[in-house]
Every structure is written in C-alpha cells, then in structure tokens.
Amino acid sequence: MSTYSPLSTRDFLKTIYKKSGWILFLSLFVSASVTGLSFLIPNQYKVTANLLPNEMRSISGLDLLSSGDGLSGIASSLLSGRSEESDQFIIFLESYTVNKAIIDEFNLILRYDNVDSKTPVKHTFEELSKRTSFKPLPEGNFVIEVWDENPDTAVYMANAYISHLNRLNTEVSMKEATLYREFIETRYLQSEADLLGYQTQLRDFQQKYGVLELTAQIEANLTLIAELTAEKFQAELQKQYFGETVQENSPLLRNAEVQARLADDLINEITTNTDTSDFLLNYTEVPQIGFEYFELMKRIEIETAIQQFIVPLYEQAKLEEAKSLPVVSVLDEPIAPERKSYPKRSLIAILSFLSALILLSSTFIFSSLLSKNSLYWKEVLGKE
C-alpha cells in the first residue's frame, strides 16, 4: 500500500523554480488587470478645514445665571464645555437642514448619479455622509473633511459647510437669546412695576402719617418730650415752692403755674398729635405706623436689590440678541489639493501582485503535492 509523502524543501523550491515564469507572468497580469480596473474608480480629492470655536460667541445671559460668581464667573465658563461645543457642531453639520442645503447648492443628486434612483435624496444623503467627516481634536480645534472628484468643488463644499454652520448656529442662538431676553424683560418689567407700586405706597403713607424717617422722627420726638417733661418738672417745683413762700396772687406763683400748664399741654399735644404737617408722630399709632413703614421699606429694598441684579442681565440679553458673531474661526482655509486622496493605485498594484504571487505559488505547490501522492489518494478514494 502507498504511503503519504509530504514535499521536502528541495521539492518545494524545485516546484517554485519550475513554475516561476508562470507565477511571475500571471501575478503581473493580475496586478495590471486590477490596477487597470482601478482607473474606473474616479479620483477623490480630500479638502480639510481646520476650525477653532469662537469663545466670545459662547458668552450668553445663561452664563450670568449659571456662574456662581455672577459676572466674574464668565471667564471660567469660557474655558469649559469645548467638547459640548464640538458635539453641537457635529449635530449642526449632520443635520438634515445643512445637508439638504449642500445637496441643493451643489446639485449632488445629479453629481452622484442618483437621478434614476427610487429614493434619490436618501441615496445622496448616504453618499454625502461617506464623503464627509467632522471630528473634534484633543487640542480643542475642529476639522471638516470633504472628498470629491473635483478638488475645487471639494473646497467650495467645505466653505459651504462652514457658512451653514455659522448661519444655523446664529439662527439657533438668536432664537435662544430672544426667548431669554423676553423672559428677563418680563421679570424686569414686573420688578420695575412692583418697585414703583411700593414707592407710591410709601409716598401715600408718608403723606398720611407725616413720616419721612421714622427712626429719626421718633428719636427727635422723644428728645422733645424729655425736654418738655424736664421743664414741666421744674415748673411744678417752682409752683410748689412759691405756693409755700409767697402770697396766693403773687406774679411768681402765677408764672410758675402757667409754665407748668403750658409744658403739660405741649406734652399732651405731642403724644396725641394727629396733624401730619408738623411731622410730629401720634404715639398711640406708632406700633402700627412702624410695622407698615418698615414692611414697605423692606419690600422696596428687596425690589431694589432685584433691579440691581436683573438690569445687567437684561442689558446683556439685549446685546446677546443683537450680536451675530460667527461660531467658528477658520485657522486653516480649505485649499484645493494637488494630489488625489484615493484610490492609491500604486498600493493597489503592489498588493494585487503580492496576493496573486502568494495564491499562484500556493496553487502550484498544492498541485505538485497532489501529483506526488496521486497513488496514495487513489487508494484512499478507492477504498471509500
């Protein structure tokens, strides 16, 4: 019975040597054929635009609210969120609005030969997606890449993407800024109306009770009452003294009695005063007056503090709504490339030649191995 005999190194080299002509010829033929077929693939030129987010565009009224230190917190907010900006750029650039505008602007349905397709827009979108790339870089910049058969068209498309990115972002930012301004404006007008209302109430209160500065007026009234009380006490002492030392109709006694009576009348007039023109307070109403006065002052102080906070926000919101800065600055303008991006025909030729070389060599070696063990395989197959 025949036995299986593997190829020796000598048999291997001998086979390769004997078939080397065919191997080289067929490998070159395959390489040339594949390379020739690659010329049916249109040349694609890649254009790159290097962009940098415009930090000034990211200042918004929301930053004023979200930053813990108010206006001083804007600087820190400018340094954060670049990855979020890049994600937003990708959302804008991959949106239906931008891509539909690019397709219409450059007539890509016709350019990509999708006119006869059942779903020309869908297929054009898919082809455009394959020919574009939007990616953020770790350094903080953002890159737009566009491939096209015409290098000039690729440049125009890259510039169109930049223009649409700025336009769409400006529109969205303007809508957000308008909504934010309207919200701040409503609160500002409400606060202004509340402040005016409290000030009007304070004016009416002052006219009703004769209050200008309650604390100072109470202090002045107490001082006056204290002085009048002292005068009354002194007059009472004189009256008592002269009552014991002089005759009943003495001018000194009558003068002391008059002074005591006048001081007492003045004290009663001050403590029960209802005339607001002299700014003297009615002490029976001081608790209620004090409560209403300080309540009004508290509300005025609160609304004044709100105004001090909200006025800068309101002015910032109006500026935010009016400005239209571009969202990105172009670091490297898209330039028409001198060499195509793909297909790389030299690489195709080399890889196809090496692949054919390996495949043909393996085929001839396997054929030699079968020939050498033909009897063995006949016996094996014959038994089966």
* Cα angle: 321, vertex 326, 332; to 5 degrees: 170
pLDDT on residue 107 = 93
DSSP string, 121-143: HHHHHHHHHHTEEEEE-TTS-EE
Please state the pTM of the whole predicted model. Answer: 0.57
Q: How confident is the model at residue 117 (pLDDT cuts 50, 70, 90)?
A: confident
Q: With 90 as the cut, is the pLDDT of residue 31 above it? A: no
Instruction: Look up residue 368 and give its two tokens.
Output: 């030699």
Average pLDDT for the chain:
78
More confident call, 270 vs 1? 270
More confident call, 110 vs 319? 110
DSSP string, 288-315: HHHHHHHHHHHHHHHHHHHHHHHHHHHH
Query: Which range scores top for mean pLDDT: 118-132, 173-187, 335-349?
Result: 118-132
d(CA 178, CA 184): 10
Distance of CA 316 to the CA centre of its chain: 15
Please state the rounded mean pLDDT for residues 289-315.
85
Q: What is the pLDDT of residues 196-243, one digit of tens each?
A: 998 898 888 777 777 766 666 666 666 766 777 777 777 777 777 667
Q: Structurally, what CATH architecture does the domain formed by 44-184+326-337 represent?
A: 2-Layer Sandwich (3.30)
Query: Which range scores top for mean pLDDT: 1-5, 71-75, 91-95, 256-260?
Result: 91-95
At 75, is the secondary structure helix, strand, or coil?
Answer: helix
Q: What is the pLDDT of residues 369-382, one digit of tens each?
A: 777 777 666 766 66
Side chain identity at 92, as an amino acid letter?
F
- Phi first, then psi: what are they for 273, rounded to 5°? -65, 135
Please state the rounded mean pLDDT for residues 6-16.
77
More confident call, 155 vs 270? 155
Q: With 80 as the cut, is the pLDDT of residue 278 above it? A: no
At 288, is the secondary structure helix, strand, or coil?
Answer: helix
pLDDT on residue 64 = 44
- What strands lie across the sheet with 142-148, from one edge to the other? 132-136, 142-148, 45-53, 328-332
Q: With 70 as the cut, is the pLDDT of residue 110 above it? A: yes
- CA distances (Å), origin 352, targets 36, 81, 340, 342, 358: 11, 48, 20, 16, 10
Q: Are 93 and 165 in contact (CB under 8 A)?
A: yes
